[in-house]
Chain A
Amino acid sequence: MSNNNISKEHENYLINIKRKNRNILLTQISIFIVGLCLWEIAAQFKWIDTFLTSYPTQIWKLFLSYIKKGNLFYHVGISVFETVVGFLVGTLLGMGIAVLLWWSEFWAKVMDPYLVMLNSLPKTALAPIIIIWVGAGYSGIIVTAITVSIVVTIMNMYISFTSVDEDLIRLVNTFGSTKLQILQKIVLPSSIPSLISTLKINIGLSWVGVIVGEFLVSKAGIGYLIVYGGQVFKLDIVMMSVFILILISALMYKVIAILENKFTRW
Protein backbone atom coordinates (compact mmCIF):
# COMPACT_ATOMS: atom_id res chain seq x y z
CA MET A 1 0.00 0.00 0.00
CA SER A 2 1.31 3.46 -0.79
CA ASN A 3 1.41 6.15 1.83
CA ASN A 4 -0.84 8.70 0.16
CA ASN A 5 -4.10 6.76 0.41
CA ILE A 6 -4.12 5.73 4.06
CA SER A 7 -7.11 6.63 6.20
CA LYS A 8 -7.05 9.28 8.89
CA GLU A 9 -7.51 6.60 11.51
CA HIS A 10 -4.53 4.60 10.29
CA GLU A 11 -2.41 7.73 10.18
CA ASN A 12 -3.26 8.45 13.81
CA TYR A 13 -2.41 4.86 14.69
CA LEU A 14 1.04 5.17 13.09
CA ILE A 15 1.70 8.52 14.78
CA ASN A 16 0.71 6.99 18.10
CA ILE A 17 3.14 4.10 17.72
CA LYS A 18 5.94 6.46 16.73
CA ARG A 19 5.23 8.67 19.72
CA LYS A 20 5.32 5.69 22.08
CA ASN A 21 8.64 4.48 20.69
CA ARG A 22 10.11 7.97 20.93
CA ASN A 23 9.00 8.27 24.54
CA ILE A 24 10.67 4.98 25.41
CA LEU A 25 13.94 6.08 23.80
CA LEU A 26 13.81 9.52 25.43
CA THR A 27 13.22 7.99 28.86
CA GLN A 28 16.09 5.56 28.34
CA ILE A 29 18.48 8.38 27.47
CA SER A 30 17.21 10.61 30.28
CA ILE A 31 17.81 7.93 32.91
CA PHE A 32 21.41 7.69 31.76
CA ILE A 33 21.99 11.43 31.71
CA VAL A 34 20.19 12.08 35.01
CA GLY A 35 22.20 9.30 36.62
CA LEU A 36 25.48 10.81 35.42
CA CYS A 37 24.43 14.30 36.53
CA LEU A 38 23.37 13.13 39.99
CA TRP A 39 26.68 11.32 40.33
CA GLU A 40 28.61 14.43 39.30
CA ILE A 41 26.58 16.77 41.55
CA ALA A 42 26.86 14.45 44.54
CA ALA A 43 30.62 14.38 44.04
CA GLN A 44 30.95 18.18 43.64
CA PHE A 45 28.95 18.85 46.80
CA LYS A 46 30.89 16.17 48.68
CA TRP A 47 27.77 14.12 49.49
CA ILE A 48 29.74 11.03 48.50
CA ASP A 49 33.35 10.08 49.04
CA THR A 50 34.98 10.54 45.64
CA PHE A 51 37.89 8.43 46.71
CA LEU A 52 35.55 5.46 46.69
CA THR A 53 33.20 6.39 43.85
CA SER A 54 35.17 8.70 41.57
CA TYR A 55 32.97 10.90 39.35
CA PRO A 56 32.13 11.37 35.66
CA THR A 57 34.29 14.38 34.78
CA GLN A 58 37.31 12.86 36.46
CA ILE A 59 36.76 9.58 34.60
CA TRP A 60 36.45 11.52 31.36
CA LYS A 61 39.70 13.39 32.03
CA LEU A 62 41.45 10.15 32.77
CA PHE A 63 40.03 8.66 29.60
CA LEU A 64 41.42 11.56 27.52
CA SER A 65 44.85 11.32 29.13
CA TYR A 66 44.96 7.56 28.50
CA ILE A 67 44.09 8.20 24.87
CA LYS A 68 46.80 10.83 24.61
CA LYS A 69 49.39 8.50 26.05
CA GLY A 70 48.22 5.79 23.70
CA ASN A 71 48.01 3.14 26.45
CA LEU A 72 44.30 2.81 26.15
CA PHE A 73 44.32 1.47 22.63
CA TYR A 74 47.05 -0.94 23.60
CA HIS A 75 45.08 -2.40 26.52
CA VAL A 76 41.72 -2.43 24.76
CA GLY A 77 43.28 -3.88 21.61
CA ILE A 78 44.82 -6.78 23.51
CA SER A 79 41.60 -7.61 25.33
CA VAL A 80 39.50 -7.41 22.17
CA PHE A 81 41.99 -9.60 20.32
CA GLU A 82 41.94 -12.24 23.07
CA THR A 83 38.16 -12.16 23.27
CA VAL A 84 37.60 -12.44 19.52
CA VAL A 85 40.07 -15.31 19.15
CA GLY A 86 38.69 -17.11 22.22
CA PHE A 87 35.14 -16.56 20.99
CA LEU A 88 35.80 -17.81 17.46
CA VAL A 89 37.88 -20.82 18.47
CA GLY A 90 35.51 -21.76 21.31
CA THR A 91 32.47 -21.54 19.06
CA LEU A 92 34.00 -23.37 16.09
CA LEU A 93 35.55 -26.10 18.23
CA GLY A 94 32.29 -26.48 20.16
CA MET A 95 30.34 -26.76 16.91
CA GLY A 96 32.79 -29.36 15.61
CA ILE A 97 32.49 -31.48 18.73
CA ALA A 98 28.69 -31.16 18.66
CA VAL A 99 28.71 -32.43 15.04
CA LEU A 100 30.83 -35.43 16.05
CA LEU A 101 28.46 -36.23 18.91
CA TRP A 102 25.48 -35.94 16.54
CA TRP A 103 27.26 -38.28 14.15
CA SER A 104 27.86 -40.97 16.74
CA GLU A 105 25.08 -41.68 19.20
CA PHE A 106 27.43 -44.00 21.06
CA TRP A 107 29.94 -41.26 21.81
CA ALA A 108 27.17 -38.80 22.62
CA LYS A 109 25.97 -41.16 25.33
CA VAL A 110 29.50 -41.86 26.55
CA MET A 111 30.34 -38.17 26.82
CA ASP A 112 27.03 -37.13 28.39
CA PRO A 113 28.00 -37.34 32.11
CA TYR A 114 31.33 -35.61 31.44
CA LEU A 115 29.60 -32.75 29.66
CA VAL A 116 27.04 -32.39 32.44
CA MET A 117 29.84 -32.22 35.02
CA LEU A 118 31.90 -29.76 32.99
CA ASN A 119 28.82 -27.66 32.43
CA SER A 120 28.05 -27.32 36.12
CA LEU A 121 31.69 -26.57 36.96
CA PRO A 122 32.49 -22.84 37.04
CA LYS A 123 35.12 -22.86 34.31
CA THR A 124 36.96 -19.88 35.77
CA ALA A 125 38.07 -22.22 38.56
CA LEU A 126 40.29 -23.86 35.94
CA ALA A 127 41.92 -20.56 34.97
CA PRO A 128 44.94 -20.79 37.34
CA ILE A 129 45.72 -24.33 36.14
CA ILE A 130 45.37 -23.37 32.49
CA ILE A 131 47.62 -20.35 32.89
CA ILE A 132 50.30 -22.46 34.53
CA TRP A 133 50.02 -25.13 31.84
CA VAL A 134 49.70 -22.96 28.76
CA GLY A 135 51.70 -19.96 29.88
CA ALA A 136 51.08 -16.60 31.50
CA GLY A 137 50.48 -14.64 28.31
CA TYR A 138 47.93 -14.25 25.53
CA SER A 139 47.74 -17.97 24.96
CA GLY A 140 46.79 -18.80 28.55
CA ILE A 141 44.11 -16.11 28.57
CA ILE A 142 42.72 -17.22 25.21
CA VAL A 143 42.53 -20.85 26.34
CA THR A 144 40.72 -19.72 29.48
CA ALA A 145 38.20 -17.85 27.31
CA ILE A 146 37.76 -20.96 25.14
CA THR A 147 37.04 -23.25 28.09
CA VAL A 148 34.35 -20.87 29.33
CA SER A 149 32.39 -20.85 26.07
CA ILE A 150 33.04 -24.27 24.57
CA VAL A 151 30.94 -26.45 26.88
CA VAL A 152 27.80 -24.33 26.48
CA THR A 153 28.33 -24.34 22.73
CA ILE A 154 28.60 -28.13 22.61
CA MET A 155 25.48 -28.65 24.71
CA ASN A 156 23.31 -26.03 22.99
CA MET A 157 24.28 -27.09 19.49
CA TYR A 158 23.96 -30.80 20.21
CA ILE A 159 20.45 -30.29 21.58
CA SER A 160 19.56 -28.24 18.53
CA PHE A 161 21.01 -30.86 16.13
CA THR A 162 19.07 -33.70 17.74
CA SER A 163 15.78 -31.83 17.93
CA VAL A 164 15.37 -31.61 14.15
CA ASP A 165 11.96 -33.00 13.16
CA GLU A 166 12.12 -36.80 12.81
CA ASP A 167 9.85 -36.71 9.74
CA LEU A 168 12.14 -34.25 7.99
CA ILE A 169 15.00 -36.73 8.32
CA ARG A 170 12.69 -39.50 7.07
CA LEU A 171 11.76 -37.35 4.10
CA VAL A 172 15.34 -36.84 2.94
CA ASN A 173 16.02 -40.51 3.64
CA THR A 174 13.36 -41.39 1.08
CA PHE A 175 15.39 -39.25 -1.35
CA GLY A 176 18.31 -41.57 -0.55
CA SER A 177 20.44 -38.94 1.19
CA THR A 178 23.72 -39.71 2.91
CA LYS A 179 24.39 -38.75 6.51
CA LEU A 180 26.69 -35.96 5.35
CA GLN A 181 23.90 -34.55 3.17
CA ILE A 182 21.48 -34.66 6.09
CA LEU A 183 24.03 -32.66 8.08
CA GLN A 184 24.67 -30.11 5.34
CA LYS A 185 21.18 -29.61 4.00
CA ILE A 186 18.95 -30.16 7.02
CA VAL A 187 20.66 -30.23 10.40
CA LEU A 188 23.11 -27.33 10.09
CA PRO A 189 20.79 -24.82 8.40
CA SER A 190 17.92 -25.58 10.75
CA SER A 191 20.27 -24.91 13.68
CA ILE A 192 21.14 -21.37 12.58
CA PRO A 193 18.74 -19.73 15.07
CA SER A 194 20.30 -21.76 17.93
CA LEU A 195 23.75 -20.89 16.66
CA ILE A 196 22.94 -17.19 16.76
CA SER A 197 21.63 -17.34 20.31
CA THR A 198 24.72 -19.35 21.30
CA LEU A 199 26.93 -16.68 19.72
CA LYS A 200 25.17 -14.04 21.81
CA ILE A 201 25.81 -16.01 24.98
CA ASN A 202 29.40 -16.71 23.97
CA ILE A 203 30.29 -13.05 23.53
CA GLY A 204 29.58 -12.49 27.22
CA LEU A 205 31.24 -15.74 28.28
CA SER A 206 34.42 -15.06 26.31
CA TRP A 207 34.73 -11.71 28.04
CA VAL A 208 34.39 -13.46 31.39
CA GLY A 209 37.24 -15.79 30.45
CA VAL A 210 39.45 -12.96 29.18
CA ILE A 211 38.91 -10.67 32.17
CA VAL A 212 39.52 -13.46 34.68
CA GLY A 213 42.62 -14.49 32.72
CA GLU A 214 43.92 -10.93 32.72
CA PHE A 215 43.26 -10.62 36.46
CA LEU A 216 45.55 -13.59 36.99
CA VAL A 217 48.23 -12.83 34.41
CA SER A 218 48.27 -9.08 35.19
CA LYS A 219 50.37 -7.89 32.29
CA ALA A 220 48.05 -6.02 29.96
CA GLY A 221 44.45 -5.60 28.89
CA ILE A 222 41.27 -4.18 30.38
CA GLY A 223 41.27 -6.85 33.10
CA TYR A 224 44.79 -5.76 34.04
CA LEU A 225 43.70 -2.12 34.24
CA ILE A 226 40.85 -3.06 36.55
CA VAL A 227 43.07 -5.10 38.86
CA TYR A 228 45.80 -2.44 38.81
CA GLY A 229 43.32 0.36 39.54
CA GLY A 230 41.87 -1.65 42.42
CA GLN A 231 45.24 -2.38 43.94
CA VAL A 232 46.46 1.24 43.92
CA PHE A 233 43.00 2.47 44.99
CA LYS A 234 42.53 4.55 41.87
CA LEU A 235 38.91 3.73 41.34
CA ASP A 236 38.59 6.10 38.39
CA ILE A 237 40.75 3.65 36.41
CA VAL A 238 38.44 0.81 37.42
CA MET A 239 35.32 2.79 36.54
CA MET A 240 36.72 3.86 33.17
CA SER A 241 37.66 0.29 32.34
CA VAL A 242 34.21 -0.99 33.22
CA PHE A 243 32.58 1.65 31.02
CA ILE A 244 34.82 0.73 28.10
CA LEU A 245 34.04 -2.93 28.68
CA ILE A 246 30.29 -2.28 28.59
CA LEU A 247 30.65 -0.28 25.39
CA ILE A 248 32.72 -2.86 23.53
CA SER A 249 30.67 -5.90 24.51
CA ALA A 250 27.46 -4.08 23.56
CA LEU A 251 29.07 -3.31 20.20
CA MET A 252 29.96 -6.97 19.65
CA TYR A 253 26.45 -8.01 20.59
CA LYS A 254 25.15 -5.57 18.00
CA VAL A 255 27.34 -7.17 15.33
CA ILE A 256 25.78 -10.56 16.10
CA ALA A 257 22.31 -9.02 15.95
CA ILE A 258 23.11 -7.69 12.46
CA LEU A 259 24.30 -11.16 11.44
CA GLU A 260 21.05 -12.56 12.79
CA ASN A 261 19.00 -10.24 10.59
CA LYS A 262 21.08 -11.20 7.60
CA PHE A 263 20.86 -14.96 8.07
CA THR A 264 17.29 -15.38 9.27
CA ARG A 265 15.43 -13.38 6.68
CA TRP A 266 13.02 -16.19 6.01
Chain B
Amino acid sequence: MEKKIIVEINNIGMIYHSLTGETEAIKDINLSIFEGEILGIVGPSGCGKSTLLSIIAGLLEPSSGTVLINGHKVSKSNRNIGYMFQKDQLLEWRNILQNVVLGLEIQGKLTTNNYRIAREILENYGLGEFIYSYPSQLSGGMRQRVALVRTLLLEPDLLLLDEPFSALDYQTRLAIADEIGVILKNERKTGLLVTHDIAEAISLSDRIVILSKRPASIKEIIQIHLTCPEGNRTPLRCREAPEFRHYFNKIWRELDVHV
Protein backbone atom coordinates (compact mmCIF):
# COMPACT_ATOMS: atom_id res chain seq x y z
CA MET B 1 0.00 0.00 0.00
CA GLU B 2 1.37 3.37 -0.91
CA LYS B 3 -1.38 5.25 0.83
CA LYS B 4 -0.19 7.35 3.72
CA ILE B 5 -1.28 6.26 7.16
CA ILE B 6 -2.71 9.13 9.19
CA VAL B 7 -3.80 7.33 12.32
CA GLU B 8 -2.28 4.23 13.80
CA ILE B 9 -4.16 2.57 16.63
CA ASN B 10 -2.11 -0.07 18.44
CA ASN B 11 -3.60 -2.56 20.88
CA ILE B 12 -6.00 -0.12 22.47
CA GLY B 13 -7.76 -1.37 25.58
CA MET B 14 -9.99 0.54 27.95
CA ILE B 15 -11.29 -0.41 31.36
CA TYR B 16 -13.74 1.78 33.29
CA HIS B 17 -13.67 1.69 37.04
CA SER B 18 -16.64 2.37 39.26
CA LEU B 19 -17.45 1.56 42.86
CA THR B 20 -19.46 -1.48 41.85
CA GLY B 21 -16.64 -2.95 39.80
CA GLU B 22 -14.80 -2.59 36.54
CA THR B 23 -16.08 -2.77 33.00
CA GLU B 24 -13.95 -3.60 30.02
CA ALA B 25 -15.18 -1.28 27.28
CA ILE B 26 -12.59 -1.86 24.57
CA LYS B 27 -10.28 -4.80 23.98
CA ASP B 28 -7.29 -5.08 21.64
CA ILE B 29 -8.22 -2.73 18.87
CA ASN B 30 -5.69 -2.37 16.05
CA LEU B 31 -6.56 -0.12 13.18
CA SER B 32 -4.96 2.14 10.60
CA ILE B 33 -6.70 5.03 8.92
CA PHE B 34 -5.37 6.19 5.56
CA GLU B 35 -5.17 9.69 4.25
CA GLY B 36 -8.30 10.87 2.48
CA GLU B 37 -10.50 7.94 3.40
CA ILE B 38 -13.71 7.93 5.36
CA LEU B 39 -13.84 5.05 7.76
CA GLY B 40 -17.24 4.08 9.07
CA ILE B 41 -17.67 2.45 12.44
CA VAL B 42 -20.81 0.52 13.25
CA GLY B 43 -21.55 -1.62 16.25
CA PRO B 44 -24.28 -2.53 18.71
CA SER B 45 -25.48 0.30 20.97
CA GLY B 46 -23.37 0.87 24.04
CA CYS B 47 -20.43 -1.07 22.62
CA GLY B 48 -17.89 1.66 23.27
CA LYS B 49 -17.78 3.57 19.98
CA SER B 50 -17.79 6.94 21.67
CA THR B 51 -15.08 5.78 24.07
CA LEU B 52 -12.93 4.86 21.08
CA LEU B 53 -13.43 8.31 19.55
CA SER B 54 -12.54 10.01 22.83
CA ILE B 55 -9.33 8.00 23.01
CA ILE B 56 -8.38 8.85 19.43
CA ALA B 57 -9.14 12.52 20.14
CA GLY B 58 -6.80 12.39 23.12
CA LEU B 59 -9.59 13.34 25.51
CA LEU B 60 -9.32 10.03 27.31
CA GLU B 61 -6.20 8.11 28.26
CA PRO B 62 -6.52 4.43 27.24
CA SER B 63 -5.77 1.74 29.82
CA SER B 64 -3.36 0.14 27.37
CA GLY B 65 -2.05 0.72 23.87
CA THR B 66 -1.14 3.82 21.90
CA VAL B 67 -2.65 6.09 19.28
CA LEU B 68 -0.30 7.72 16.79
CA ILE B 69 -1.44 10.54 14.53
CA ASN B 70 1.02 11.32 11.76
CA GLY B 71 3.55 9.34 13.76
CA HIS B 72 3.13 11.32 16.97
CA LYS B 73 1.42 10.14 20.11
CA VAL B 74 -1.76 12.16 20.71
CA SER B 75 -1.49 14.54 23.61
CA LYS B 76 -3.20 17.69 24.74
CA SER B 77 -0.69 19.96 23.05
CA ASN B 78 -0.16 18.45 19.62
CA ARG B 79 -3.60 17.26 18.68
CA ASN B 80 -5.08 18.58 15.52
CA ILE B 81 -8.43 16.91 15.37
CA GLY B 82 -11.90 18.05 14.45
CA TYR B 83 -14.75 16.61 16.43
CA MET B 84 -18.39 16.77 15.38
CA PHE B 85 -21.12 15.76 17.77
CA GLN B 86 -24.75 14.66 17.53
CA LYS B 87 -25.80 18.12 18.53
CA ASP B 88 -24.16 20.97 16.67
CA GLN B 89 -22.96 22.56 19.94
CA LEU B 90 -23.20 26.07 18.60
CA LEU B 91 -23.03 28.79 21.24
CA GLU B 92 -26.43 30.47 21.28
CA TRP B 93 -25.03 33.81 22.40
CA ARG B 94 -22.60 34.15 19.51
CA ASN B 95 -23.52 34.91 15.93
CA ILE B 96 -22.56 32.50 13.17
CA LEU B 97 -19.23 34.17 12.37
CA GLN B 98 -18.25 34.29 16.06
CA ASN B 99 -19.26 30.65 16.37
CA VAL B 100 -17.11 29.36 13.53
CA VAL B 101 -14.00 31.18 14.75
CA LEU B 102 -14.32 29.78 18.29
CA GLY B 103 -11.54 27.24 17.75
CA LEU B 104 -9.18 29.81 16.25
CA GLU B 105 -9.98 32.18 19.08
CA ILE B 106 -9.12 29.59 21.72
CA GLN B 107 -5.89 28.76 19.96
CA GLY B 108 -4.99 32.43 19.71
CA LYS B 109 -5.03 32.44 15.90
CA LEU B 110 -7.65 35.12 15.32
CA THR B 111 -6.19 37.25 12.56
CA THR B 112 -7.95 39.41 10.02
CA ASN B 113 -6.82 36.95 7.40
CA ASN B 114 -8.47 34.09 9.25
CA TYR B 115 -11.65 36.12 9.56
CA ARG B 116 -11.58 36.59 5.81
CA ILE B 117 -11.15 32.85 5.27
CA ALA B 118 -14.02 32.13 7.65
CA ARG B 119 -16.31 34.47 5.71
CA GLU B 120 -15.27 32.90 2.42
CA ILE B 121 -15.99 29.37 3.60
CA LEU B 122 -19.36 30.46 5.00
CA GLU B 123 -20.18 32.05 1.65
CA ASN B 124 -19.12 28.91 -0.21
CA TYR B 125 -21.36 26.73 1.90
CA GLY B 126 -24.41 28.91 1.33
CA LEU B 127 -24.33 30.56 4.74
CA GLY B 128 -23.22 33.99 3.50
CA GLU B 129 -26.41 35.80 4.39
CA PHE B 130 -26.47 34.34 7.89
CA ILE B 131 -23.03 35.49 9.03
CA TYR B 132 -24.52 37.85 11.61
CA SER B 133 -27.53 35.70 12.50
CA TYR B 134 -27.78 33.81 15.76
CA PRO B 135 -27.96 30.00 15.81
CA SER B 136 -31.60 30.02 16.94
CA GLN B 137 -32.53 31.64 13.63
CA LEU B 138 -31.12 28.73 11.59
CA SER B 139 -32.62 25.35 10.73
CA GLY B 140 -31.12 22.15 12.13
CA GLY B 141 -29.40 21.29 8.86
CA MET B 142 -27.86 24.74 8.50
CA ARG B 143 -26.65 24.65 12.10
CA GLN B 144 -24.87 21.35 11.46
CA ARG B 145 -23.27 22.93 8.37
CA VAL B 146 -22.03 25.81 10.55
CA ALA B 147 -20.55 23.22 12.93
CA LEU B 148 -18.73 21.67 9.97
CA VAL B 149 -17.29 25.03 8.93
CA ARG B 150 -16.12 25.59 12.52
CA THR B 151 -14.36 22.22 12.38
CA LEU B 152 -12.81 22.65 8.92
CA LEU B 153 -11.43 26.13 9.70
CA LEU B 154 -8.84 24.52 11.96
CA GLU B 155 -7.69 22.33 9.05
CA PRO B 156 -7.63 19.18 11.15
CA ASP B 157 -5.60 16.12 10.13
CA LEU B 158 -8.50 13.95 11.16
CA LEU B 159 -12.23 14.49 11.54
CA LEU B 160 -14.14 12.53 14.13
CA LEU B 161 -17.84 12.37 13.34
CA ASP B 162 -19.82 11.09 16.29
CA GLU B 163 -23.27 10.40 14.82
CA PRO B 164 -23.34 13.95 13.49
CA PHE B 165 -26.65 13.56 11.64
CA SER B 166 -28.71 11.63 14.15
CA ALA B 167 -30.34 14.68 15.74
CA LEU B 168 -31.77 15.80 12.39
CA ASP B 169 -35.10 14.80 10.87
CA TYR B 170 -34.92 12.17 8.16
CA GLN B 171 -35.05 14.33 5.02
CA THR B 172 -32.59 16.89 6.36
CA ARG B 173 -30.41 14.05 7.48
CA LEU B 174 -30.17 12.58 3.98
CA ALA B 175 -29.50 15.97 2.44
CA ILE B 176 -26.88 17.06 4.96
CA ALA B 177 -25.11 13.69 4.98
CA ASP B 178 -24.90 13.92 1.21
CA GLU B 179 -23.61 17.47 1.30
CA ILE B 180 -21.04 16.87 4.02
CA GLY B 181 -19.92 13.65 2.35
CA VAL B 182 -19.21 15.55 -0.86
CA ILE B 183 -17.42 18.34 1.01
CA LEU B 184 -15.19 15.88 2.85
CA LYS B 185 -14.30 14.14 -0.41
CA ASN B 186 -13.59 17.43 -2.21
CA GLU B 187 -11.39 18.67 0.61
CA ARG B 188 -9.73 15.25 0.78
CA LYS B 189 -10.36 15.04 4.48
CA THR B 190 -9.71 11.92 6.51
CA GLY B 191 -12.71 11.05 8.61
CA LEU B 192 -13.93 8.58 11.16
CA LEU B 193 -17.70 8.27 11.10
CA VAL B 194 -19.55 6.61 13.95
CA THR B 195 -23.18 5.90 13.14
CA HIS B 196 -26.14 3.71 13.95
CA ASP B 197 -27.46 4.00 10.46
CA ILE B 198 -26.11 1.15 8.30
CA ALA B 199 -27.23 2.76 5.04
CA GLU B 200 -25.58 6.04 6.00
CA ALA B 201 -22.34 4.23 6.79
CA ILE B 202 -22.30 2.41 3.46
CA SER B 203 -23.11 5.49 1.40
CA LEU B 204 -20.45 7.68 3.03
CA SER B 205 -17.58 5.33 3.87
CA ASP B 206 -14.69 3.82 1.97
CA ARG B 207 -14.29 1.11 4.58
CA ILE B 208 -16.53 0.00 7.42
CA VAL B 209 -15.34 -1.41 10.70
CA ILE B 210 -17.84 -3.62 12.52
CA LEU B 211 -17.38 -3.75 16.26
CA SER B 212 -18.52 -6.54 18.54
CA LYS B 213 -20.59 -6.05 21.67
CA ARG B 214 -18.80 -4.96 24.82
CA PRO B 215 -15.89 -5.26 25.27
CA ALA B 216 -15.62 -3.82 21.77
CA SER B 217 -13.17 -5.45 19.43
CA ILE B 218 -13.00 -5.45 15.66
CA LYS B 219 -15.24 -8.12 14.19
CA GLU B 220 -14.68 -7.34 10.58
CA ILE B 221 -13.49 -4.64 8.20
CA ILE B 222 -15.42 -4.34 4.96
CA GLN B 223 -14.05 -2.54 1.92
CA ILE B 224 -16.88 -0.70 0.14
CA HIS B 225 -16.90 -0.59 -3.65
CA LEU B 226 -20.02 0.93 -5.07
CA THR B 227 -20.56 1.35 -8.80
CA CYS B 228 -22.41 4.59 -8.67
CA PRO B 229 -24.63 5.70 -11.53
CA GLU B 230 -23.44 8.61 -13.64
CA GLY B 231 -19.82 8.38 -12.57
CA ASN B 232 -19.44 11.17 -10.02
CA ARG B 233 -19.97 9.68 -6.63
CA THR B 234 -22.20 11.35 -4.10
CA PRO B 235 -23.42 9.50 -1.02
CA LEU B 236 -27.08 9.86 -1.93
CA ARG B 237 -26.66 8.57 -5.48
CA CYS B 238 -24.56 5.69 -4.24
CA ARG B 239 -27.58 4.33 -2.46
CA GLU B 240 -28.81 3.25 -5.88
CA ALA B 241 -25.71 1.16 -6.55
CA PRO B 242 -26.48 -2.53 -7.15
CA GLU B 243 -24.01 -3.62 -4.44
CA PHE B 244 -25.68 -1.49 -1.80
CA ARG B 245 -28.18 -4.12 -0.72
CA HIS B 246 -25.52 -6.77 -0.53
CA TYR B 247 -23.39 -4.68 1.86
CA PHE B 248 -26.43 -3.80 3.91
CA ASN B 249 -27.39 -7.44 4.45
CA LYS B 250 -23.83 -8.42 5.23
CA ILE B 251 -23.42 -5.74 7.90
CA TRP B 252 -26.84 -6.45 9.32
CA ARG B 253 -25.94 -10.13 9.71
CA GLU B 254 -22.61 -9.28 11.31
CA LEU B 255 -24.21 -6.93 13.81
CA ASP B 256 -26.32 -9.87 14.96
CA VAL B 257 -29.08 -7.75 16.45
CA HIS B 258 -31.46 -9.39 18.88
CA VAL B 259 -34.25 -7.34 20.32
Partner-B contacts on A (CB < 8 A): 165, 167-168, 170-177, 181, 185-186, 189-190, 192, 265-266
Contact = CB atoms under 8 A, between A and B. Distances in A.
B83 A185 contact: no
A262 to B, nearest CB: 12
A54 B98 CA distance: 60
Interface centre among B54, B57, B103 (most CB of A within 10 A): B103
Interface string B32-47: 0000000000000000
Contacts of B77: 176
Contact of B134 (A171, A173, A176, A266): A266
A172 B59 contact: no
Contacts of B70: none
B135 interface: yes
A172 B106 contact: yes
Given A170-B83, A174-B82, A186 B59 contact: no
Interface in B124-149: 134-136
Contacts of B87: 165, 167
A78 to B, nearest CB: 38
Interface string B225-241: 00000000000000000
Interface in B63-121: 76-77, 79, 81-83, 85-87, 89, 91-93, 102-103, 105-107
B89 A174 contact: no
B154 A175 contact: yes
Nearest to B95: A266
Contacts of B54: 170
Given A170-B59, A190-B92, 8 more contacts: A167-B85, A174-B59, A174-B83, A176-B106, A185-B105, A190-B91, A190-B93, A265-B134
B9 to A, nearest CB: 17
Given A170-B83, A171-B83, A266-B135, A177 B89 contact: no
In terms of DSSP, what is the predominant structure of the interface of chain A?
helix
A266 B92 contact: yes
Interface residues of B, number: 25
23 contacts: A165-B89, A167-B87, A167-B89, A168-B89, A170-B54, A170-B83, A171-B83, A174-B59, A174-B83, A175-B102, A175-B103, A176-B76, A176-B79, A176-B107, A177-B106, A181-B106, A185-B102, A185-B106, A189-B91, A189-B93, A265-B134, A266-B92, A266-B135
A170 B134 CA distance: 22
A10 B90 CA distance: 36
Contacts of A170: 54, 57, 59, 83, 85
Interface centre among A170, A185, A190 (most CB of B within 10 A): A170
Contacts of A175: 102-103, 106-107, 154
A175 B89 CA distance: 14
B79 A174 contact: yes
Contacts of A265: 134
Nearest to B92: A266
Contacts of A189: 91, 93
B59 A173 contact: yes
Contact of B102 (A165, A172, A176, A192): A172
A171 B81 contact: no
B91 A186 contact: yes
B136 A266 contact: yes
Contacts of A266: 92-93, 134-136
A74 B220 CA distance: 83
A22 B43 CA distance: 60
A172 B59 CA distance: 11
B89 A171 contact: yes
